[in-house]
Amino acid sequence: MKDIILRIIEELVTKILQKIEEGGLSDIDQFSSESLELCKASIRELISEIVNRLNEELRSNKRLRREIGLSLREKDRERSIFNDVGY
């Protein structure tokens, strides 16, 4: 998980640096808005990875599912979570 977080952060830093190199600081309002969207996209990617890992863990760990009272009826069903960052 640490590797995934580091990769996402490195990609975010690269994108923000590209914005700065493209003259992104000349219009601070636009730079702020674009940077916020880049950050939200990175958080959505991280949440997606976390959800995928939890989903895999729940599917593969029958004992855990029994402990928490979870029953899986559909294996390949699309699942989603909606939160403040729009995932």
**Per residue in 3-38, pLDDT tens?**
999 999 999 999 999 999 988 678 888 899 999 999
- Domain-embedded: residue 25: yes
* End-to-end CA, the chain: 19
Rounded CA separation 43/5 (Å): 10
**Residue-by-residue DSSP string for 59-86:** HH-HHHHHHHT-----SS-------TT-
Average pLDDT over residues 34-54: 91
Domain residues for the domain of 24 are 2-66
| HSE toward the beta carbon, residue 64, CA cutoff 13 A | 8
- Domain-embedded: residue 81: no
Report how many domains make up the chain: 1
- Residue 12 host element (H or E): helix 2-21
- Domain-embedded: residue 15: yes
- Domain-embedded: residue 84: no
- Domain-embedded: residue 74: no
- Domain-embedded: residue 12: yes
